[in-house]
Amino acid sequence: MSAEPRLLEVRKNVLKQNDMVARSLRERFRERGIYVVSLVSSPGAGKTAFLERTLTLLRPQFRVAALVGDLATDNDAIRLARTQAPVKQITTGTLCHLEASMVEEELSGWDVGDLDFLFIENVGNLVCPSSYDLGENLRLVLLSVTEGEDKPLKYPTIFNSADVAVITKIDLAQAVEYDEDTLRMNIQAVRPGMRQFAVSAKTGAGMQECLQFLSDRHAELAQKTQV
């Protein structure tokens, strides 16, 4: 029969493979001076509308491109292509999140020339994407005023994994009796110090402030790369 059982101590990060790919992506982006922003949110929070507006507003000044993840359709990529920016769809099939290897795969052979910004729109999901580093510099978590002010408390992990919160659809604030103070308090409870922006991709309200923040971050990166 089998020998005596014994305990073997090991230490293996389960997501090591993903983290390694993400690290090498981050290094590649840094060398090329590309500032990478990923977007996570629940389905329907307005990632694509926000991105559409962002690409349009940044394009006169910056070289921008976007990778968009979706389970089954390329509707988002078609929408975003109207901005004239290079856009590529990642169709994940049944997978509920993007992984670093998918980003790497989509980038290989995609000749978009030099870039200032690359945006990566994750699959609409507030749970699974939180575990996977995509090599981004900044992770934006978006939530719309229609979703309820307690969303950060319900999904603390994704808010904790993100760097900046973008509150979307503020043009609907009044209709849904949005309580700004409560939402801000809840965001700060799960992620103290988190930077927040409130925008409407539809009217353009608040977009400039948010994009100024992104261009400042890009300028910082460019400065670091030159040193």
Partner 1 sequence: MHELSIAMSIVDMAQEEAERRNVRIDAVHLELGPLSGVVADALLISYEAASSGTRLEGSKLVIKEVPIEVYCPVCDAQRTLSSMQWFCCPECGTPTADVIHGKELAIIALEVRDECRTAPVGST
Q: Which is nearer to partner 1, 10 or 227 (CB)?
A: 10
Q: Are strands 87-91 and 117-121 parallel, antiparallel or unpaired?
A: unpaired
Q: Which is nearer to partner 1, 81 or 95 (CB)?
A: 95
Q: Which is nearer to partner 1, 14 or 227 (CB)?
A: 14
Measured at the CA of 140, the angle between CA 135 and CA 190, to 5 degrees, comes to: 110
Q: Which is nearer to partner 1, 80 or 162 (CB)?
A: 162
Q: Residue 87 Cβ, how far from partner 1 at the closest point, in Å?
A: 25
Q: How far apart are the first and last CA of the chain?
A: 64
Q: Residue 190 Cβ, how far from partner 1 at the closest point, in Å?
A: 6
Q: Which is nearer to partner 1, 155 or 178 (CB)?
A: 155
d(CA 195, CA 161): 13
Q: Residue 100 Cβ, how far from partner 1 at the closest point, in Å?
A: 13
Using CB under 8 A as the criterion, which residues of the chain lie in contact with partner 1 when the complex forms? 1-15, 17, 95-97, 127-128, 130-131, 153, 156-158, 160-161, 188-194
State CA 90 to chain mean position distance: 14
3-state DSSP of 132-177: CCCCCCEEEEEEEHHHCCCHHHHCHHHHHHCCEEEEECHHHCCCCC
- Local structure of 204: helix, strand or coil: coil
Q: Residue 33 Cβ, how far from partner 1 at the closest point, in Å?
A: 28
3-state DSSP of 73-132: CCHHHHHHHCCCCCEEEEECCCCCCCCHHHHHHHHCCCCCCCCCEEEEECCCCCCHHHHC
Q: Residue 53 Cβ, how far from partner 1 at the closest point, in Å?
A: 29
Q: Which is nearer to partner 1, 86 or 135 (CB)?
A: 135
Q: Residue 223 Cβ, how far from partner 1 at the closest point, in Å?
A: 25
